């Protein structure tokens, strides 16, 4: 099967959304909205270029090449090895894992703990083990990613995001003010940098091959169709 019906395409799209929506997507857009003030639209344009446009291009390129290492090998085999290692370390133990664990803990668990318990590192350690244990279980079967992410996790996530959006729309915390810092002089560039800091563009270099595997298991094997769907 080379063509996907609209239902499967929707679930794949939801799966991709849930894979990319991480800690950075929860931190930087609200910060941008608060600090950019009257320059929000311009700043958001830069944000969308690096946080949405670049990841889409990265997914398509990696899927077309057959993997990140194969893509980087076009420069040099040694470069491919070093580049791939740095990518995995960046979205893993160096930046991605600590940020994902600490943000989820601080927003979801810490407010319900007493001051004494909250100041201890033990709750965060236990939460991190459980958090990434569940993440490991969810990701160990690529063939089940669409069911677990696209059909379950993402709808719940979208409902929560929509609730926050509707609540902030009808009960805003304030009005647009003058932009602050770099948002005043370089709103487009600052928005672009904020979008890059979500690390979605870097993560897409790794996710591209995962998404390609999922699509192949769903019957899409031709390179042209893989790139079109992604």
Q: Where are the alpha helices (DSSP H) in the chain?
A: 6-20, 23-36, 40-48, 54-65, 68-72, 77-89, 96-108, 115-118, 122-139, 145, 154-170, 182-185, 187-197, 200-217, 223-229
Give the Cα separation of 42 and 119 in Å (integer). Answer: 40
What pTM, to 2 d.p., does this model score? 0.76
pLDDT for residue 118:
60
End-to-end Cα distance, the chain:
16
Under 8 Å between Cβ of 199 and 58: no
| DSSP symbol at 140 | S
Give CA separation, 163 vs 14, 103, 111, 118, 204, in Å. 18, 20, 20, 28, 27
The two structure tokens encoding residue 111: 């407010």
pLDDT for residue 18:
78
- Neighbour count for residue 8 (Cβ, 10 Å): 18
Residue (of 54, 17, 88) closest to 193 by Cα position: 54
Under 8 Å between Cβ of 84 and 72: yes
Give the Cα separation of 201 and 71 in Å (integer). Answer: 15
Question: pLDDT tens digits, the chain, 230 residues: what are they?
Answer: 456 667 777 777 777 887 888 778 888 888 898 899 889 999 999 999 999 999 989 888 887 887 888 888 999 999 999 998 998 888 888 888 888 888 888 888 888 887 766 677 888 888 889 988 888 887 777 667 667 777 777 788 888 888 888 888 888 777 778 888 899 999 999 999 999 999 899 888 888 777 777 777 766 665 555 555 55
Cα-Cα-Cα-Cα dihedral sign, residues 93, 67, 228, 47? positive
pLDDT for residue 227:
55
Q: Return phi, psi of residue 6, to 5°.
A: -65, -30
Give the domain ranges of the chain: 22-210
């Amino acid at each position: 099967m080379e063509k996907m019906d609209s239902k499967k395409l929707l679930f794949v799209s939801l799966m991709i959304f849930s894979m990319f929506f991480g800690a950075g997507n929860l931190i930087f857009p609200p910060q941008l909205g608060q600090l950019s003030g009257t320059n929000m639209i311009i700043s958001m344009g830069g944000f969308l270029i690096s946080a949405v446009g670049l990841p889409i291009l990265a997914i398509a390129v990696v899927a077309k090449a057959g993997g990140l290492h194969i893509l980087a090998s076009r420069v040099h085999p040694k470069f491919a090895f070093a580049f791939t290692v740095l990518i995995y370390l960046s979205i893993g133990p160096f930046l991605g894992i600590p940020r994902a664990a600490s943000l989820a803990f601080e927003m979801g668990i810490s407010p319900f703990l007493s001051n004494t318990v909250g100041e201890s590192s033990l709750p965060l350690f236990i939460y991190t083990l459980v958090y990434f244990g569940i993440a490991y279980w969810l990701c160990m079967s690529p063939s089940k990613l669409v069911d677990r992410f696209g059909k379950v996790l993402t709808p719940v996530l979208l409902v929560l995001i929509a609730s926050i959006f509707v609540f902030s729309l009808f009960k805003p915390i304030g009005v647009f003010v003058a932009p602050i810092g770099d948002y005043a002089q370089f709103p487009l560039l600052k928005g672009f940098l904020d979008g890059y800091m979500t690390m979605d563009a870097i993560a897409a270099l790794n996710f591209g091959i995962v998404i390609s595997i999922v699509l192949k298991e769903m019957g899409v094997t031709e390179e042209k169709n893989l790139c079109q769907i992604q």
